[in-house]
């Protein structure tokens, strides 16, 4: 089985593939203080306790990370505990099949390239990937499968944290859809601003991007991913598909390009 690991600023998502299907997955906090040994203990504990896995044999590893310190420990974990297992770490020099048309291609986060590859493979181009994570990122892929740019906005949780810190009477709230857009109390006012506000942000940016990306904006496929995406899926009219494991699928594809099928 292929183990895929997506290390984000807030959460790390892990998935096990059998062929092209995710058969098990986990989401844990990204802790820059964890050592390679601790990461191995957590990983092996998750695998051993899963009722879906019996005598699991990890035959390959593919990972990407937006946190350099965690990447270092992940690399060490692979070396120490899975030294005989082929591993692909997405970094410069790894074949992705996605040409990057940016002023400085090295500035683009590896997860954004991975997402772009998966979106093109699953839906074709042109496409826009909206990733709801620590930041909300928008990544544009041309009809030729080229990464042509994007945008970065503050994420949902960052915005909530900023409100609770800077607003004396504003506290953290449960993120659920309020009864009305025009709220009648503070909690629902915050919920309305976050849920409907972010949905409007997504629709506005996607509309503008689609016009630049294609002569026929209606042909642009918009794919959402990320742990916070379900909060706005039903409110954002521009989103065509939701792929919770988009990054993991991209990692699988990159592994196959560099090592071969698992």
111 is catalytic: yes
Structure tokens at 75: 């690399």
Cα distances (Å, whole numbers) of residue 129 to 57, 118, 158: 32, 10, 20
Residue of 20, 57, 111, 218 with catalytic role: 111
Bond into 126 cis (ω within 30):
yes
Tell me the pairing of strands 127-132 and 135-141: antiparallel
Look-up of token digits 């990159």: 254
Phi, psi angles (nearest 5°) of residue 103: -60, -45
Structure tokens at 164: 């609770």
Return d(Cα 76, Cα 176) in angstroms, integer: 40
Please identify every residue annotated as catalytic.
Answer: 111
């Amino acid at each position: 089985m292929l183990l895929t690991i997506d290390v984000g600023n807030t959460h790390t998502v892990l998935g096990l593939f059998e062929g092209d299907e995710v058969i098990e997955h986990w989401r844990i906090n990204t802790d820059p203080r964890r050592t390679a040994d601790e990461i191995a203990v957590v990983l092996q504990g998750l695998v051993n306790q899963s009722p879906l896995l019996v005598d699991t044999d990890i035959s390959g590893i593919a990972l990407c990370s937006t946190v350099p310190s965690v990447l270092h420990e992940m690399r060490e974990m692979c070396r120490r505990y899975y030294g005989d297992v082929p591993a692909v770490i997405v970094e410069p020099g790894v074949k992705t099949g996605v040409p990057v048309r940016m002023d400085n291609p090295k500035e683009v986060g590896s997860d954004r390239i991975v997402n772009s590859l998966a979106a093109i493979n699953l839906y074709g181009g042109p496409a826009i990937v909206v990733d709801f994570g620590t930041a909300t990122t928008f990544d544009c892929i041309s009809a030729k499968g080229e990464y042509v740019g994007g945008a970065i906005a503050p994420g949902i949780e960052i915005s909530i944290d900023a409100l609770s810190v800077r607003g004396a009477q504003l506290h953290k709230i449960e993120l659920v859809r309020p009864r009305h857009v025009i709220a009648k109390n503070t909690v629902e006012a915050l919920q309305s601003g976050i849920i409907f506000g972010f949905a409007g942000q997504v629709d506005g940016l996607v509309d503008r991007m689609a016009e630049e990306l294609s002569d026929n904006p209606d042909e642009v496929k918009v794919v959402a991913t990320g742990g916070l995406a379900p909060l706005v899926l039903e409110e954002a009219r521009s989103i065509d598909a939701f792929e919770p494991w988009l990054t993991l699928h991209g990692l699988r594809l990159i592994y196959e390009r560099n090592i071969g099928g698992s």
